[in-house]
Amino acid sequence: MPWIDACALVDIEEEDLVRLDHEGRTYAVYRISGEEVYCTDGLCTHEKVHLADGLVIDHTIECPKHNGQFDVRTGAAIRSPACEALSTYPARVVDGRVHVEIP
Amino acid sequence: MDPVRLITFPMERDYSLTGPERQNAFDKGLAGAEWYRTPVDRKVLKSLMKRTDWPATRDIAIWVAVLVGSGAGGILLWGSWWALPFFFVYGVFYASAADSRWHECGHGTAFKTRWKNDAVYELASFLLMRNSVVWRWSHARHHTDTIIVGRDPEIAGMRPPQLIVLCLNLFGIVAVPQSLAALARNAAGILPPDEADLIPESERDNAIRVGRIHIAIYVLVALVSLWSWSLLPLMIIGLPRAYGIWLLLVMGLPQHLGLAEDVLDYRINSRTVLMNPILRFIYLNMNYHIEHHMYPMVPYHALPKLREVVKHDLPAPNPSLWNAWSEIIPCVLRQLRDPRHFIRPQLPEGAGVWEPVRSNQTA
Ligand code: FES
């Protein structure tokens, strides 16, 4: 899978995320702190709501619709009604840009 | 025959989750649709959504202290009329105040720490005779499809309104036997079709386990009551769900009662009612109900601030509970004759207009 230039690191606040649309799919790119970044699918596995409107708390993303939670590192669903894990993708910071490896 | 049928008026629409209205909701694109939300700047929203343990720790501690204090007073004065005011307070905090704590912790917004939300949610579910698994899913659906007939399992004000049942339920007369029967069904391993429609396969065993735990505790308390030949154990555990729930209905029914069905705009199907600080403490600010539905991630303690940010786009709130009921009562009485009647809130000038984005989900 190719590495994609998602955005500048400064475009994502610490403990926040942005939405990334690529090739007809939606992803969520997270910045926890400093250069610690992650990437997951962008839609909640419960009812396909955009996670980009959600809240990052430590290493979890909370879905804006029903407060289901996922661990952004592993994609694991950790609070219902989210039951199914999110897919995760490698992410890194290169020269102040966030790169993600997505299909 | 279900005896409750004898005191219900025939309804125009089928409010079950498995009847014809379910298909209707899908056909009209009302199921899982996108709803209008007053736009809020992401930075502002983030600061409103911020989680902290402190306000809920304080409010839960006060709740527990009032429960322990009033319960102890009731036990010590049992047998005298002086016990009555203690049980009055105990019942309201046991049932009415538990509902808002159940709700906030169910959303996971009360505390920042997850296990604290879960612990209070489980306790409050037990007090309210709600299966914590079933109701978590039912409340999620209520947020997805708020007052969409055939989809929302939490429509309290059906049309025509079931006034006899609503009045009896001020003291849990219909709801308590129904809740216990629902728990007993779950304990027996049965999830009726409406519950099965809500709960995914992977959670069903959990729902059955919770039903068994609740029923086992209630049976134990009933046996202690019988064995000691005293109502006191049941006055402490179980019966308060009946004698203390009235305030929740007074505060909570106005959330949606008398407003539109099948619309994709919380401003039209939900109601914000201004209340005094004591009621807001008991109700954990759920009187800001339009705001809560628009942004369920905002914790209860930040709802007054959220209101300030979005109020330019919302109908004027009802200034008091009295005022809310003054518009609801004539409306529900008229609905007895004309079930299609409902209240249309006036949006302020310049309010955002919503082109409903209907869903293309299929049943
Ligand atoms: S849509 Fe994400 S938890 Fe329901």
**Chain segment B284-327, per-residue pLDDT in tens:** 999 999 999 999 999 999 999 999 999 999 999 999 999 999 99
B207 within 8 A of B215, measured Cβ to Cβ: no
Cα distance between residue B75 and residue B235, in whole Å = 9
Tens digits of residue pLDDT in B56-86? 999 999 999 999 999 999 999 999 999 999 9
Both tokens assigned to B44: 């502002």
| Confidence (pLDDT) at B13 | 85
Can you tell me the distance from the alpha carbon of B250 to that of B309, in angstroms, rounded to the nearest whole number? 27
Q: Which residues does B264 contact at the CB level (< 8 Å), separation at least 6?
A: B30, B33, B34, B35, B36, B354, B356, B357, B358
Beta strands A36-41 and A60-62 are unpaired
Candidates A40, A46, A53, A83: which one to mutate for ligand 1, based on the most atoms within 8 Å of Cβ? Answer: A46
- Please give, rounded to a whole number of angstroms, the shortest distance from the CA of B356 to a CA of chain A: 16
Does A18 fall in a domain? yes
Report domain extents, chain B. 3-337
Residue of the nearest CA to atom 3 in ligand 1?
A68
DSSP letters, B6-17, are: GGSPPPSS--SS
Whether A69 has its CB under 8 Å from any CB of chain B: the answer is yes
Task: Give the count of alpha carbons within 13 A of B96, CB side only.
Answer: 27
List residues bridging with A29 in a β-sheet: A18, A39
Q: What is the pLDDT of residue B173?
A: 96
Give the minimum alpha-carbon distance from B107 to chain A in angstroms, rounded to a whole number: 6
A50 token code pair: 């955009």
In whole angstroms, give the CA distance from residue B176 to residue B90.
Answer: 17
Give the CATH number for residue A11: 2.102.10.10
pLDDT number for residue B9: 64
In this predicted structure, what is the pLDDT of residue B11?
73
d(CA A83, CA A69): 9
User: Would you state the structure tokens that stand for residue B170, as one six-digit string?
Assistant: 């001020």
What local confidence, expressed as pLDDT, does residue B331 receive?
A: 96
Query: What is the span of the domain harbouring residue A45?
Result: 3-97
Contacts of B297 in chain A (CB under 8 A): 54-55, 62, 64, 67
Distance CA A85, CA A34 (A): 26
Q: Give residue for tokens 């990334």.
A: A20
Report the candidate in A74, A15, A78 with the shortest Cα–Cα distance to residue B108. Answer: A78
Is B362:B25 a contact under the CB 8 Å cutoff?
no
The CA-atom distances, in angstroms, between B146 and each of B109, B139, B200 are 19, 10, 20
Give the number of other CB atoms < 10 A from CB of residue B88: 14
The residue-averaged pLDDT of A43-69 equals: 95
Contacts of A47 in chain B (CB under 8 A): 32, 144
Report pLDDT for A47: 92
CB atoms within 10 A of CB A33: 9
Pairing of strands A25-33, A36-41: antiparallel
B140 contacts A57? CB cut-off 8 A:
no
Burial classification of residue B61, based on how many CB atoms lie within 10 Å of its CB (0-12 exposed, 13-18 middle, 19 or more buried): exposed
Indicate the average pLDDT of chain B. 94
Q: Do A55 and B143 touch (CB under 8 A)?
A: no
Q: What is the pTM of this model?
A: 0.93
* Structure-token match 């009302």, residue found: B30
Give the per-residue pLDDT at B250.
97
CB contact, 8 Å: A79 with chain B? yes
Ligand 1 proximal residues by C-beta, below 6 Å: A 44, 46-47, 49, 63, 65-66, 68, 81-82; B 140
| CA–CA distance, B141 with B152 (Å, rounded to integer) | 6
Integer CA distances (angstroms), B304 to B55, B60, B255, B307, B354, in order: 14, 19, 16, 5, 24
Structural domain count, chain A: 1
Q: Is residue A102 part of a domain?
A: no
Q: Please report whether residue A103 resides in a domain.
A: no
Enumerate the β-bridge partners of residue A62: A55, A69
At residue B307, the pLDDT reads 98
Identify the closest residue of chain B to A15 by CA–CA distance. Answer: B46
For residue B173, give the 3-state DSSP assignment.
coil
Q: Which residues of A touch B46 (CB under 8 A)?
A: 13, 16, 55
CA-nearest residue to A84 within chain B is: B202
Mean pLDDT rounded to a whole number for chain A? 95
Instruction: Tell me how far the alpha carbon of residue B138 lies from the centroid of ligand 1, in angstroms.
Output: 13
What are the residue ranges in chain B where pLDDT is below 50? Answer: none
* DSSP letter (8 states) at residue A42: S
Please report the DSSP string for B60-104 in residue order. Answer: HHHHHHHHHHHHHHHHHTTTSTTHHHHHHHHHIIIIIHHHHHHHH
Sign of the alpha-carbon torsion through B243, B244, B247, B250: negative
Q: Which of A31, A44, A55, A71 to mutate to test the interface with B (most CBs of B within 10 A)?
A: A55
**Record: contact B108-A67, CB cut-off 8 A:** yes
Contacts of B295 in chain A (CB under 8 A): 64
Whether B296 sits inside 8 A of A64 (CB atoms) is yes
- pLDDT of A49 above 80: yes
User: Could you tell me the distance, in angstroms and rounded to a whole number, from the CA of residue A57 to the centre of ligand 1?
Assistant: 16
Q: What ranges in B145-295 are assigned the alpha helix state H?
A: 163-168, 175-187, 193-198, 204-228, 232-236, 240-243, 246-252, 266-269, 277-283, 289-294
Residue B295 in contact with residue B37, Cβ under 8 Å?
A: yes
- Ligand 1 pocket test, pick from A41, A55, A61, A63 with the greatest ligand atom count within 8 Å of Cβ, gives A63
